[in-house]
Structure 1
Amino acid sequence: MKVHAYVADSAGARLRPHEYEPGPLGPNEVDVRVTHCGVCHTDIGAIDDEWGFAKFPVVAGHEAVGVVEATGDAVDRELLPIGLRVGVGATAGSCFACEWCLSGRQNLCPRRDDVIFRGLGGGFASHIRATDWRHVHPIPDALSSADAAPLFCAGTTVFTPLLTHGVRPVDRVAVVGVGGLGHLAVQFLAKWGCAVTAISRTRAKEADARGLGATDFIAAGEEGALAAAAGSFDFVLSTATGDLPWDAYLDLLRPQGKLCVVGVPENAISAGVMNLLPAEKAIVGGIVGSPVQTRQMLDFAARHGIRPEIETYPIADVEQALDRVRQGTARYRAVLEL
């Protein structure tokens, strides 16, 4: 089988068509013919080599949706029949032997198959291969393929902390950043039953945030706005990609509150110890969910009508889509149609 892909040959290069042979299908592997693929900021990071991990030539894309085209001999074909509509996200395999996998936390497996680190093998292509079928997720009928694509990274990244950190419907929660991650987080938390406050630098996205389910809004750039909300929240989810005044955001928390960081700041996180210890506050990280958590997220989104706001582009316009994400002007996720 030939895979027709779009590759970057060096950091920041424009994508070009490329063909490669993925090799024989392993016993647990699944080939998915891609119909849609989301464009995440992490894809930009790989193409531009922002973090120094890119393997060139690189095929980006880790929010792939399509149909099962071929399966290995050990794949449960009743669960993944040929032609089934599925998604392959940021994690496409794990060892299923370590303590993390055996306890249902495959997203923490030290040997997990992170699509973004593959080089060749991403979703900006005719096909994507999952190295383990248990990381291939059937898509509920209520979700269109274009809407489902961003859920395989952005969606599971903001949904999983609700499960991992025990966010309750009675909690008061703040979402920092109303963008590709944040606009989904507001929806999930509102449907979860929380009182949700959206935080953005200005009021430009206030109407959007309230329309998505936020009950309140804070413009962090307004003098005294953060200080006025001190001690208000049980959980603060930061989806922002820039650096924040971390002590000011810790001040927003009630005792034993958590500041969960899922956006990637540019520099190290620094906070005063006296903002953590006396009230037992915590700073925690968040990543994409396990297979079970990802499927729970898909089911929750389907049942509650949660959808990303997307811009769709034919694969021929991939550079336009990349530039929109690169410049932070996409409202709110870009999706490629292949």
Structure 2
Amino acid sequence: MDGILLSIRDLRTYFYTEDGIVKAVDGVSFDLRRGETLGIVGESGSGKSVANLSIMRLIPEPPGRIVSGEIIFDGEDLLALTPREMRRIRGKRISMVFQDPMTSLNPFMRISRQLMELTQLHLGHTKRQAYAHAIEMLERVGIPDARMRVDSYPHAFSGGMRQRVMIAMALACEPELLIADEPTTALDVTIQAQILELIKRLKRETGMSVILITHDLGVVAGMADRIIVMYAGKIFEIAPTAKLFATPANPYTKGLLRSVPDPARDAGRELYQIPGLPPDVARLPPGCPFAPRCALAQERCRREFPPFVQIAPDHHSLCHFATEVYAESVREKEAKGASDLNPL
């Protein structure tokens, strides 16, 4: 990993609705290094997908709008580009795999045509070159009998195979950045593992950077170099994967980790769940948005928005008591022993 490929600074994406302004992404900043896999986790509605749709400039206007911020990709601010300039980058240098391949693939077009359109547009392929490349990409992502199946329609493929087709489309132009939005949702466990291993293998082969969006901590545990934890449109914690699992510095992160089933820890007990529900981001409280659900919350938390505290050069947490939570995690790690740091 060498150098910064993507730099997000104070990104704010709001949706203007009849119920008020929904601050789906509110002041998000992070960097993505070349060749890095960055995991973004959080409950539904935390802002994970909206942040990455903002990178792709795919926010529907109206009701949504990128209000402010910078999205610097390889030295160029994507928010300053015209729609035509952005189309030259989208699909070629930055690609996205969406969570539902059936709604992302055109059901009325053969798979070959959907793949060919990409390379004819971005790589200048002739029809013959594009068709050969389509077969090559299907073979690369493990579609059996690719030469025979390239002219099939999406409905002829299983859910796992459709997701492989989506990955083939995303990688057809060898992008520098792949954004995978819940790429294993609704797939059975065996197929999930195959899809994740496929993304890891293709990343090794191409050297691309990956942003992996998920609510599943088990997925990012074996995939990501660093993890961002989002809540209510904000980054609550960011750290290298091993550090985040071993010594979380935010009560919300600790709650997410406790929610992962552990047979040794949870035998004979009810599975843990974070109390309460995520907040309505159109009506956030004045202090910490997690305070109503947090066992550590004090009056200060309900009144004042928390600072983004630096625990280490590569570890930050949005919490009034981040250093105390971190110290408690260190003590728990030491008591548990170095042999079993990862609850997953």
Instruction: Return the TM-score normalized by structure 2.
Output: 0.24
- Name the structure where helix makes up a greater proportion of residues: 2
**Computing the radius of gyration over CA atoms, which structure comes out larger, 1 or 2?**
2
